Amino acid sequence: MEAFNGGFEPVSSLKENEKLPSDLLVDRVLMELKSKFLSSKRVWVVAFSGGKDSTCVLQLVYEMLLALPPNQRRQTYAIASNTLVEAPHIDKFLYKVVDSINSHAKNNNIPFEILQVKPSLKDDFWVNLIGKGYPSPTRTFRWCTDRLKISPAKAEIAKITQKFGSALLILGTRKAESSNRKKSIEKRSLNEDGYSQHQDFPDTLTYSPIVEWSTDEVWAYLTSHKPPWEKDHSELFALYTKASGEECQFITDLSQNSCGGSRFGCWVCTVVSEDKSMQGFIESGEESLKPLNDFRNYIKNLREDPKARADYRRDGRAVHKVGGLGPFLSHIRIEILKRLLQVEQEFMRNGGDRLISDAQIYAIQEQWDEDFDFNKGAIKLAKEMKRMKDEKLEQSKVLHKELLVEVANDKVDSKELENLIDACIDIYNTAGSRGKNNFQIKIKEAIKKLVDDKTNKQK
């Protein structure tokens, strides 16, 4: 049997002088898990990314629960982060795994559940990139990690600790992953139980039961121990076979490395220079992913183009005074959405799913309404791409539009004037009944948005 990428060979192919994780090793960890579980009332939460290490830990914890008599079991959770921009094939895989585990737990009265968390719309990747014009993330401006991963997990664990008092976060981190990981683990201050205090999650300790395991020991456990749930690990093995790149751990703080280029990361990640994992899948026959990889490269290159960036920050400060570059210009944001919807069409023709939801498009439109758009541009683009077919757009309220063309006299866009007048009519109809000052202020703001549009300022 061929070796899997990442240096792992299946159990049947390990060389004679290579050691398997003995039953004694597995039994020792299971006994340790049982002892810690029964000696504390803390609720356990497994950090689950879907990779080999977190799968190994989750299965060990689940097997420990199964081995306990029902009266000694108590509610236990796992948390899986869905950034909403997960690599589509990984997203499908994780959905099937989570569903299989939750179904087994429910059908067998095991008090265990995987909770899937996702970012709020205000923190959503597309809403920030296309709506607000944030440049695609870099190593120095990694705005995505906290919004997409840390904040949703933190909020969910806060709910758990509010209900149960305190939590123990079970991690799949291992010293053998990398020298940086080893240094990070060794810096942690452990108490006598082998736990460390999580700096960002209140009332939460962390524990890494396989911290000393080698990569071969993790794989050997997974190959020799069929999971109790219906879905086995064969697809997990296949994912590691096809893709290169590192494994993405469950991110809980900003000191952890980005998952860019990992097998279990976001397909839009631009923190790394190239997505070797995505390229590995494409080279292994996943041709439908090529347009996604091309789009990822497009938004990465776009952020480096000063002509695509405004001369003002979102807070109104001029970049020539504070340095750097501003957000993407309004017409660039429109172009990004258009390209994304085109990529989505091609991806769906090849059997893929949607890359952006209606709710995300609505949220982008709300941000554009605030920044520069009078014309429901995001929704119109979506309709042009055969999306949001049932969305009704109001007809223009302006009569004799030819007069606007004459008044504009090539100095002002007559269409923008028409949209401004429509907006002012809407403002009057909705705010006018609450007082003259109210709608006058809002109309002034609308005019100022058109006249002093900082999203469209270039040198």
Q: How far apart are CA 438 and CA 422, in angstroms?
A: 17
In this prediction, residue 65 has a pLDDT band, given cuts at 50, 70 and 90, of: very high
Whole-number pLDDT of residue 391 = 85
pLDDT higher for 418 or 41? 41
pLDDT tens digit string along 163-209?
Answer: 999 999 999 988 876 555 555 554 555 655 668 777 777 788 999 99
Q: What is the mean pLDDT of residues 3-28?
A: 54
Compute the C-alpha angle 47/187/273, nearest 5°. 65
Whole-number pLDDT of residue 278 = 86
pLDDT higher for 290 or 409? 290
pLDDT tens digit string along 335-372?
Answer: 999 999 999 999 999 999 999 999 999 999 999 988 88
401: its two tokens: 């539009």
Whether pLDDT at 244 is above 50: yes
User: Residue 453, Cβ neighbours under 10 Å: how many?
Assistant: 16
In this prediction, residue 39 has a pLDDT band, given cuts at 50, 70 and 90, of: very high
Overall fold of domain 11-130+141-266: Rossmann fold (3.40.50)
pLDDT higher for 208 or 439? 208
pLDDT tens digit string along 52-64?
Answer: 999 999 999 999 9
Whether pLDDT at 275 is above 80: yes
Whole-number pLDDT of residue 12 = 42
Q: What is the mean pLDDT of residues 418-434?
A: 58
User: Residue 306, Cβ neighbours under 10 Å: how many?
Assistant: 12
Whether pLDDT at 161 is above 50: yes
CA distances from 28 to 16, 38, 63, 209, 373 (A): 24, 15, 13, 10, 62
Whole-number pLDDT of residue 422 = 63
Query: 407 near 392, Cβ under 8 Å?
Result: no
In this prediction, residue 261 has a pLDDT band, given cuts at 50, 70 and 90, of: very low
Whole-number pLDDT of residue 371 = 85
Query: 308 near 328, Cβ under 8 Å?
Result: yes
Q: How far apart are CA 173 and CA 456, in angstroms?
A: 46
Half-sphere exposure for 405 (CA within 13 Å, toward CB): 4
Half-sphere exposure for 317 (CA within 13 Å, toward CB): 8
Amino acid at 111: P
Whole-number pLDDT of residue 416 = 67
Whole-number pLDDT of residue 150 = 87
Question: Start-end ranges of CATH 3.40.50.620 in the chain?
Answer: 11-130+141-266
Provide the edge-to-edge strand list for the sheet that holds 167-170. 112-117, 76-81, 43-47, 167-170, 204-207, 196-197
Whether pLDDT at 126 is above 90: yes
pLDDT tens digit string along 371-395?
Answer: 888 788 999 999 999 999 888 876 6
Whether pLDDT at 110 is above 90: yes
Q: How far apart are CA 367 and CA 314, in angstroms?
A: 12
User: Residue 258, Cβ neighbours under 10 Å: how many?
Assistant: 22
Q: How far apart are CA 143 and CA 112, in angstroms?
A: 33
Query: 247 near 177, Cβ under 8 Å?
Result: yes
Compute the C-alpha angle 60/244/171, nearest 5°. 25
Whole-number pLDDT of residue 8 = 41
Q: How far apart are CA 113 and CA 430, in angstroms?
A: 46
